[in-house]
């Protein structure tokens, strides 16, 4: 879907936008684990060296059938630094229904940061349930399930250096997400062909 060169260009553009929006203020990048790991690592290194940058991580319940139907977002790991008075930038891999970012925005704004911005690599604007708007958006993705560059399906494919559409075949072979780990034998798909995982 998006190759390494496109991702690198996008990340450099986002870093420039974040830097422009920060002036000379120190910023704290908050990585939403685990999907935004590689994005944050590349984004942070693309920021100008003179900018004062600190990092933190937060984790919320992962994408899944129950999450989609109930709209429930659960905090798995909180930030470990004091965000009060800080210029915070939430760094997220993808926004789809928007519930994750709505939850995180609420949670982190309660910590009284000096400012709170959202930086998202991918936007799937087709099924919004919460009116969140990222301050910085990388790429608009088609309405498909995407893996790679940190994004997973059942914890797999995060390591791919590019962004790929998960093939219907992989879905078929794995079965619905709700059945994984519930006694149904899981068949691993073979090595990805082309750019489809
Ligand atoms: P939202 O709450 O629907 O906006 O979903 C955001 C979260 O769902 C992201 O942090 C991802 O972990 C996950 N997610 C949404 N779409 C995809 C996808 O296409 N591939 C992998 N993960 C996804
Ligand atoms: Mg995920």
* Ligand 1 atom nearest residue 152's Cα: 21
C-alpha distances out from residue 159 to 88, 107, 130, 147, 153, Å? 27, 29, 29, 9, 11
- Check whether 35 has a pLDDT greater than 70: yes
Is it true that the peptide bond before 70 is cis, omega within 30 degrees of 0?
no
Q: The tokens of 172 are what?
A: 């078929």
Mean pLDDT of 114-132: 96
Look up residue 192 and give its two tokens.
């990805």
Does the structure show a pLDDT above 60 at 51?
Answer: yes
21 or 72, greater pLDDT: 21
pLDDT at 167: 87
The model carries a pTM of 0.87
What the block records as the tokens of 72 is 């429930």
Tokens at 141, concatenated: 């993705």
- Distance CA(94)–CA(163), nearest Å, equals 12
pLDDT tens, 134-182? 999 999 999 999 999 999 999 999 999 999 999 888 777 665 554 443 3
- pLDDT score at 77: 97
Q: DSSP letter string over 81-126?
A: S--TT-EEEEEEEEESSSHHHHHHHHHHHTT--SEEEEEEEEE-TT
Which pLDDT band holds residue 190 (cuts at 50, 70, 90)? very low
Q: How far is the CA of 47 from the centre of ligand 2 (A)?
A: 25
Q: Which two tokens stand for residue 88?
A: 């915070």
Write out the H or E segment, with its range, that includes residue 66.
helix 65-70
> What pLDDT, on the 0 to 100 scale, is given for residue 63?
52
Q: What pLDDT, in 10s, does the model give residues 5-14?
A: 999 999 999 9
Residue 183 structure tokens = 């006694």
Whether 62 shows a pLDDT value over 90: the answer reads no
Percentage of the chain modeled with pLDDT above 70: 82
Confidence band of 61 (pLDDT split at 50, 70, 90) = confident
Q: Residue 156 C-alpha to ligand 2 middle, in angstroms?
A: 10
Catalytic residue ranges = 96
Write down the pLDDT at residue 69.
Answer: 57
CA distances (Å), origin 147, targets 70, 93, 103, 152:
23, 11, 23, 5
pLDDT of residue 169: 81
User: Which of 67, 68, 96 is the best mutation target for the ligand 1 pocket, counting ligand atoms within 8 Å of the beta carbon and taking the most?
Assistant: 96
Q: What single DSSP character describes residue 196?
A: B
Q: Which residues contact 45 (CB under 8 A, 6 or more apart)?
A: none
Confidence at 25, pLDDT banded by 50, 70, 90: very high
pLDDT at 59 over 60: yes
Q: Is the CB of 98 under 6 A from ligand 1?
A: yes
- In the reported structure, the alpha carbon of residue 66 is separated from the centroid of ligand 2 by a whole-number distance in angstroms of 13
Q: State both tokens at 187.
A: 């068949």
Confidence tier at 72 by pLDDT (50, 70, 90): confident
How long a stretch of residues is the chain? Answer: 197
User: Is the confidence at residue 186, as pLDDT, over 50?
Assistant: no
> Which ligand places an atom closest to the C-alpha of 36?
1
């Amino acid at each position: 879907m998006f190759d390494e060169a496109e991702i690198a260009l996008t990340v450099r553009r986002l870093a420039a936008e974040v830097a422009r929006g920060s002036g000379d203020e120190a910023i704290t990048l908050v990585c939403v684990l685990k999907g935004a790991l590689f994005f944050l690592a590349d984004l942070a290194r693309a920021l100008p060296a003179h900018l004062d940058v600190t990092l933190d991580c937060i984790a919320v319940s992962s994408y899944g059938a129950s999450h989609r139907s109930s709209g429930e977002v659960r905090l798995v790991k909180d930030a470990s630094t004091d965000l009060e008075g800080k210029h915070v930038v939430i760094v997220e891999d993808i926004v789809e229904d928007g519930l994750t970012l709505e939850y995180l925005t609420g949670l982190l704004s309660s910590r009284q940061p000096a400012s709170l911005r959202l930086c998202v690599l991918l936007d799937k604007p087709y099924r919004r349930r919460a009116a969140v708007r990222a301050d910085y958006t990388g790429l608009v993705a088609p309405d498909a399930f995407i893996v790679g560059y940190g994004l997973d399906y059942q914890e797999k494919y995060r390591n791919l250096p590019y962004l790929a559409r998960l093939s219907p075949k992989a879905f078929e072979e794995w079965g619905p997400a709700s059945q994984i780990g519930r006694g149904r034998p899981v068949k691993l798909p073979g090595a990805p062909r082309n750019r489809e995982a």
